[in-house]
Structure 1
Amino acid sequence: MKAIQKYTEQELVALLKQRDPNAFSYLYDNYAAALNGIVRNFISDDQLADSVLQDSFVKIWNQASTFDSIKGRLFTWMSSIVRNTAIDTLRSKDWKNSRQNVELTDNNSEIAADNALNIDAIGLRKFVGGLRDEYKMVVEMCYFDGFSQSDIAQTTGVPLGTVKTRLRKALLELRSRIKQ
């Protein structure tokens, strides 16, 4: 039977910086569950969450030499790596493309139909239709078609800052029209 090794945070960091595989095993055994909880706050898909956790531990291993105990605790540093990895995954084009290819179930199509009816029922399309063409385009792409601002900029060839400005002005104009 193997003796259970325990490390202080300083010892663990020193061994990780020396690339000690036993220290990494200890790190994984003692922190994986907590870090997996952070991943699950962002990603519900089991396979993707496991992949993000694995990628995070690879980053932790590769970046262990950059950890500075003066700036914070080891767990805080690892948590930020995990959180950033999860966010980067959600922002990636591969993930967005995989979400577009998800098969629509009957339930999903009902939800989409309900949302379309709600938008039409409150007359929102009528208000959007009264906007200037460049405002109408960005609002429809963003809120009706689900494009991000950067996707709109890339698709239309309009600079991102211009897309953001047009969207903001359009929303302000819609707000004033709806309040009347």
Structure 2
Amino acid sequence: MQQDGLILELQNGNQKAFERIYELYSESIYGIIYSILRDEKIAEEILQDVFLKIWNNSSSYNSDKGRFFTWILNIARNASIDHIRSKAHKNNQKNLTSDNFVDILESRSNFSGKADAIGIKKYINVLKPVCKKLIDLLFFKGYTQKETAEELDMPLGTVKTRNRACINKLREMLAE
């Protein structure tokens, strides 16, 4: 079955279509979630939540607004960031042992692996360093635009403008 037909079947509540979509996308989506959270158990829980949201909200997907994978990716990214910002996550972070700090420090610089997990590494490598940093902070680390401005010591308006320009450049490259 073609992807458009599969999506239509999903939107009509077809459980077999949902299972097929899970087979097609769960591994990639898990990789994205894990690259943000760096915790297998929580990533698996968030993955299940993401697919539950896909099932419950499939009617909100509109192909005119973007690709299906992008829609799923945004659900996964937002769920991961919501978890990071949650009180439970923050309390759990307070209780980390010193062994975990090595992983945290390493994951802060693992932008290349995260970009590769969603298949855009070759495109991001062509971008200017400021674009790489903006994409890393805003999309992979879940920073708000205000937090990004503070982290990069840059005016908020500049962050917004550069982010828009960087995303547009990525869109151009992906459309080629």
TM score, norm. by length of structure 1: 0.54
CA–CA distance in 1 between the matches of 2:99 and 2:49?
Answer: 35
Structure 1 runs (4+) deviating above 3 angstroms are 104-108
- Cα separation, partners in 2 of 1:106 and 1:94, compared to 1, 3 Å: closer
Matches within 5 A, 1:31-110: 31-102=25-96, 104-105=97-98
Q: Which runs of 5+ in 1 are unaligned?
A: 1-6, 109-163, 172-180
- Cα separation, partners in 2 of 1:95 and 1:107, compared to 1, 3 Å: closer
CA–CA distance in 1 between the matches of 2:100 and 2:61?
Answer: 47
Q: Which runs of 5+ in 2 are unaligned?
A: 102-146, 154-176
Match of 2:11 in 1: 17
Larger Rg: 1
CA–CA distance in 1 between the matches of 2:76 and 2:34?
Answer: 10
CA–CA distance in 1 between the matches of 2:100 and 2:72?
Answer: 38
Determine whether 1:26 maps to 2:12.
no
**% identical aligned pairs:** 38
TM score, norm. by length of structure 2: 0.55
State the AA in 2 paired with 1:67.
Answer: Y
CA–CA distance in 2 between the matches of 1:46 and 1:70?
Answer: 34
State the AA in 1 paired with 2:55.
Answer: W
State the AA in 1 paired with 2:76.
Answer: V
Matches within 5 A, 1:142-157: none
Q: CA deviation at 1:106?
A: 7.6
Compare relative contact order (CA 8 Å, sep 6+) and give the higher one, 1 or 2.
2
Q: Which string of whole-angstrom CA distances, capped at 9 and with x for unpartnered residues, describes residues 116-169 of structure 1?
A: xxxxxxxxxxxxxxxxxxxxxxxxxxxxxxxxxxxxxxxxxxxxxxxx9xxx8x
- Cα separation, partners in 2 of 1:101 and 1:23, compared to 1, 3 Å: same
Tell me the secondary structure at the aligned position of residue 38 of structure 1: helix
